[in-house]
Amino acid sequence: MKHSLLDLRSQLRFYKSYHHNVMNVAIHSVFVPTILVTSASLLHRFTLYGSITLTHVLTVCYAVFYCLLCLPVGILASGLLVLLTVALDKKWLYTSQTQDICLFVMSWVFQFIGHGVFEHRKPALLDNLVQSLVLAPYFILFELLFKLGLYEDLNQQLIQDIATTKKSN
């Protein structure tokens, strides 16, 4: 199947193909956001210019990519990323570096357990690290939207695409 950088279906299909098991998706639904928050908190400690941090730069990059994939969901995701960045700027969300590192590592451990114990498949990041790190939060947001009954056609297309790929392999 065709794979394109700015094709939403292609991007979500890549990530969803590694996440079928309900328990693994549940684990990711908790720990992908935890990784996102702790990463943002850790990167917020690195100032580039004035008060601009690495978190600001990554927020813009992620927001642009997400909006290019799907504008309505991209705006929602961007809003959440901006809210996280503002919370870090205003110190509404503050954790120590040690807490961030512990939560970050624990989150990765749980995700690897999810893949090994429940999914019985290597994580997507072993095939495409950058795509996985950027797409994981967006995928989790889409999984929530699917659970809420939104984008049902897209969800069914993804399920069908993955089933078709499995049959041909």
- Of 51, 32, 56, whose CA–CA distance to 134 is shortest? 32
pLDDT value at residue 3? 59
Q: How far apart are CA 45 and CA 53, in angstroms?
A: 7
pLDDT value at residue 166? 75
pLDDT value at residue 169? 62
pLDDT value at residue 12? 95
pLDDT tens track for 127-151: 888 888 899 999 999 999 999 999 9
Which parts of the chain have pLDDT scores under 50? 1
pLDDT value at residue 165? 80
Q: How far apart are CA 105 and CA 117, in angstroms?
A: 18
Domain residues of the chain, as ranges? 8-168
pLDDT value at residue 128? 86
